[in-house]
Amino acid sequence: MTGTLGWTGAWRARLALAAMTLLAGCAVGPDYQRPEAPMTATFKEIDGWKAATPADEAHRGDWWEVYNDPKLSELEQQVNVSNQNLLAAEAQFRQARAVVGSARAALFPQVAVGVSFARSHQSGTLHNNLGGSGTDVSDYAMPLSINWELDLWGRIRRNVESNEASAQASAADVESARLSLQADLASNYFQLRSIDADRAIFDNSIEAFERSLKLTRSRYAGGIASRDDVAQAQTQLESTRAQAIDLGVQRAALENAIAVLIGVPPAAFSLPVMPLDAEPPPIPVGVPSQLLERRPDIAAAERTVAAANAQVGVAIAAYYPTVTLSASGGFESSHIDQWFTWPSRFYSVGPAVSETIYDGGFRASQTEAARAQYDTTVADYRQSVLTAFQQVENNMAALRILEQEAAVTAVAVGAARESVALTTNRYKEGAASYLDVVVVQAAALNNERSANDVRGRRLVASVQLIQALGGGWDASDLPTPSELVAED
């Protein structure tokens, strides 16, 4: 018993010494610093926009609630549950998180234990025993082995650091995919409602054109109008009906796209007709620097930079010696009744140091490749920031310009309606030809559709602006390294 305690105590002492040596080791390679990104003090289109206030956090995450549309909110919630692209992105994050666990496992000793039995017959002519008949030997063994690579130069720690950053980038990719899918659904939803509004405009016009055709036929029967007037009225009515029917193609495509986004077969999904009557909500835009924290795609690009930076350290660590502590021991005997007796013990313990003295430039090439990969990720990160600014500016400009266009088209719609009423009265009085009526009715229809189109485009642009601003997401939502461990 005393021998057992002594051997165990010696082994513990060696482990403690190894741990102290490990903690004293350094991590070679560059420590990570967030790269600088192109930045401006304010947005070019900021004039007239609402500044962010604490109350704007009310819809953080569920950003679509700002539209106050219960059906849209219901559909958006289904994206989180049933969209297959989002489920795939979440599975990729779980995979990246598992890789973190496997990388961290290299920091600890690897312990293996086994049990074996072998029956062997030795040669009768071995060792000049030419007249022997050989020997039958039984071997009962229970070996225990421990191997521990000391991370003196930080190769393992840098690899863990890289995998943690990659897992965080994967988490940001999930949120970027979620935001993109949610924005696609909202955009498709508003476009579909815009088509419903278009159909309502056509239906009203068709009713008016039917009344005009009835009036023209009555005037033709009374000898007041010509056959040409009847033909023009009939042509206008049927062509308008054809355009109304054609809207069904676009509506069906949008409805099917929404079905796929919420993870159901198109045949099992339909949306009732509901004309668009919403207006874009006020959207606080904040300042440009907030995009670095609010956009998940920028966060993913920045975490990818951090992962690449750590891989430079991994490549540099390959220049340094590898130090491994190994130990093995156990019980072995040729007789089962003596297998676990103290004399049957065996053990071996000791360190090993290895250093590559020539590799034909392999490590230099690996280090150069790691540095080039880092430079690539930095450029991608900065491009992501520039693209984000572009998207925000584009949609702010679109909303500002479309708002002006909406005001003009509203005036045009009012004038066109008045023109239709005046020209129709003149036609009834015989002071205008039916061609004049057709012209003003066509102009009124076009202006009604233009106004509806502008309203739909404004709503889609507002969705795209919210997406460009990050949709209420924040970099603080990323899992920390400790959370990555906790979820393993």
pLDDT of residue 56: 45
Q: Is 31 exposed, middle or buried (0-12, 13-18, 19+ CB in 10 A)?
A: exposed
Residue 73 DSSP code: H
283 has a pLDDT exceeding 70:
yes
Q: What is the pLDDT of residues 152-176, one digit of tens each?
A: 899 999 999 999 999 999 999 999 9
Strand pairing category for 322-333 and 136-150: antiparallel
pLDDT band per the 50, 70, 90 thresholds, residue 3: very low
Can you tell me the distance from the alpha carbon of 323 to that of 143, in angstroms, rounded to the nearest whole number?
Answer: 23
How many CB atoms lie under 10 A from the CB of residue 251? 19
State the burial class of residue 144 (Cβ atoms within 10 Å of its Cβ: 0-12, 13-18, 19+): middle
Helix (H) or strand (E) run with residue 349 in it: strand 345-354
Predicted confidence band at 239 (pLDDT cuts at 50, 70, 90)? very high
Side-chain half-sphere of 86: how many Cα atoms within 13 Å? 21
The set of long-range contacts for 115-120, using a CB threshold of 8 Å and a minimum separation of 24, is 115/141, 115/142, 116/140, 116/141, 116/142, 116/143, 117/141
pLDDT at 126 over 90: no
Mean pLDDT score of the chain, rounded to an integer? 87
If one looks up domain 21-112+151-320+362-486 in CATH, what number appears? 1.20.1600.10
Q: First and final CA of the chain: distance in angstroms?
A: 40
3-state secondary structure of 112: strand
At 385, the pLDDT band (50, 70, 90 cuts) reads very high
Q: Which two tokens stand for residue 167?
A: 């897992």
The secondary element (H helix, E strand) that includes residue 85 is helix 84-105
Does 126 or 204 have the greater pLDDT score?
Answer: 204
Q: Give pLDDT, residue 48.
A: 66
Task: Express each pLDDT in 393-431 by its tens digit.
Answer: 999 999 999 999 999 999 999 999 999 999 989 888 888
Per-residue confidence (pLDDT) for residue 24, from 0 to 100: 47
Q: Give the separation between CA 214 and CA 234, rounded to whole angstroms.
A: 10
**pLDDT of 36-71, one tens digit each?**
999 888 888 887 665 554 444 444 678 999 999 999
The confidence band for 4, taking pLDDT boundaries of 50, 70 and 90, is very low
**Which residues make beta-bridge pairs with 346?**
330
Cα–Cα dist 140/151, whole Å: 36
Residue 69, phi-psi category: left (phi > 0), alpha (psi -120 to 50), beta (remainder)? beta
Instruction: For 6-31, write each residue's pLDDT tens digit.
Output: 444 444 444 444 544 554 457 898 99
